[in-house]
A and B are shown apart, each in its own frame.
Chain A
């Protein structure tokens, strides 16, 4: 069982398009679990329209026992996120600022703080259909995307033995949510678009992955020849492009309706070749590691 992640840096380059269509295409032959980790804006089920089961995703929050609290200010002072405000006979907790680190609980010498729970989002899933789908969905106003991504991945991990391949559809950007989503994967694929914005954000993602010491490959979406810089950059820096989908208004139209695009031979072939390339790269790396 391998895990592959689709990332991009810039939003809207086609992570979801590639992940969803690849999952659909491969599921004819192997057991695929698609994991939607873009928890702020999960879109994968728009394409599948599965009936889903929903579980709440819960996370730590402190519970305050005001009978025991002496309003000593210690928790408020030591909370690095400013989530607790204390004044004489007054305590206010700002849930949206709390990272759930539990420091307050250990700091309070009066044992006035204990474990509590709050819902940060939902985990939606359908494990009966093929491909199977698990999708995290952040509650409105919650800032804990990273924690929900972690929970969604844990949920996927509990079920991973039933699958040959896990595909992670990751959030855009290069900060905590994107980084959390690629932890522990066997291969990262950057979905890039050949535009000035796409190229700029691609280079940030490339730097991020290099810093994290992650292996990655590149898939070009909305490909056309009018902006060659991206391809030239990859060529010059020995970055491997494993496939492309050409720019086409028809594909945009199909996407707008939530349709799959693997009915065209060209797209199906590109996705298949990309998959073979990903697998070869993973296996070659594993072999290399065994040899040395």
Chain B
């Protein structure tokens, strides 16, 4: 069983477009994972029927017991995250759930033992049937919740369990943007990271950063160039850079307004026209051969 992560560093480079297109070539027992829990877009295109739904608990949130609280303000002065705020109207302290990172320091230092900890609902996890007949694990972070990295890791773990159960040979993971905590969670332990790169200066800059991150984690990396043809000069520089870094280019998707048209019509790219079908099919087989 091999895990393939689709990432880009930059948002809007085409991760979800590529991931959904590659999904068309998966076998029925293979598994899809949407690891962008902030803005989970893969289900929009693939249409999902929920098979399993669960609440994801991660970390803790403090609760102040006002019968015990002496209003000393010690917790407010210790909190590193400005998550304990004094309400001047009724002269009471309260927890700002959005600022709170759940470190529990307030409960440890409270001289009155007035702070208790409860488990925190961070989001929801789903296992769904897509209309490609492939199952997909995905998640939804609650509005303003912490711990998106943990939710990503947990959704990915669900994908692994499902893949094992179904004897899948491939898991395709649609990753989040950036190079921070959710990306690191999505990247850990994958067999191949496919970097989707757009030939803009920003796109190349961001791709270089995620390539560096992948190297740091010793992840095998290859690339897909999206919006190809937008800027010749950048494309030459990009190909040159990838060659130097010894990163294989699995294929290029031409810049085309059809990509947005296909999304608006909710049609998968390979089903939209012949050019996309052939290109994505090639990318898929290059990718599998690269594992």
Nearest Cβ distance between residue A76 and chain B, in whole angstroms? Answer: 13
Binary contact readout B249-278 vs A (1 if CB under 8 angstroms, 0 otherwise)? 000000101001101101000000000000
Nearest Cβ distance between residue B227 and chain A, in whole angstroms? Answer: 8
Interface size counted on chain B using CB atoms at 8 A: 66
Nearest Cβ distance between residue B239 and chain A, in whole angstroms? Answer: 15
Of chain B, the residue at the smallest CB distance from A102 is B80
Binary contact readout B191-207 vs A (1 if CB under 8 angstroms, 0 otherwise)? 00000001111110110
Known A174-B141, A195-B263, A208-B143: A103·B205 in contact at CB below 8 Å: no
CA separation between A255 and B104, bound complex, in Å? 45
Specify which of B141, B179, B209 lies most central, judged by the most chain A CB atoms within 10 Å of its CB. B179
CA separation between A251 and B179, bound complex, in Å? 27
Are A257 and B108 neighbours in the complex by a CB distance under 8 Å?
Answer: no
Specify which of A101, A102, A142, A255 lies most central, judged by the most chain B CB atoms within 10 Å of its CB. A101
Task: Check if B231 is an interface residue, CB within 8 A of chain A.
Answer: yes
B109 cross-chain contacts in A, Cβ below 8 A: 106
Are A101 and B103 neighbours in the complex by a CB distance under 8 Å?
Answer: yes
A101 cross-chain contacts in B, Cβ below 8 A: 80-81, 101, 103, 105
Are B144 and A41 neighbours in the complex by a CB distance under 8 Å?
Answer: no
Known A175-B148, A256-B230: A11·B11 in contact at CB below 8 Å: yes
Which residues of B, 214-232, contact A by the 8 Å Cβ criterion?
216-217, 227, 230-231
Which of B's residues lie within 8 Å of A, judged by CB? Answer: 9-13, 16, 37-39, 41, 44-45, 59-60, 78, 80-81, 98, 101-105, 108-109, 141, 143-146, 148-149, 176-184, 198-203, 205-206, 209, 212-213, 216-217, 227, 230-231, 233-234, 255, 257, 260-261, 263-264, 266
| Subset of 14 A-B contacts with CB under 8 Å | A12-B11, A40-B183, A78-B108, A99-B103, A102-B105, A140-B216, A173-B38, A174-B141, A175-B145, A175-B148, A177-B178, A255-B202, A256-B198, A258-B202
Which of A's residues lie within 8 Å of B, judged by CB? Answer: 8-13, 16, 40-41, 43, 46, 60, 78, 80-81, 96, 99-103, 106-107, 138, 140-143, 145, 171-179, 195-197, 200-201, 204, 207-208, 211-212, 222, 226-227, 247, 249, 252-253, 255-258
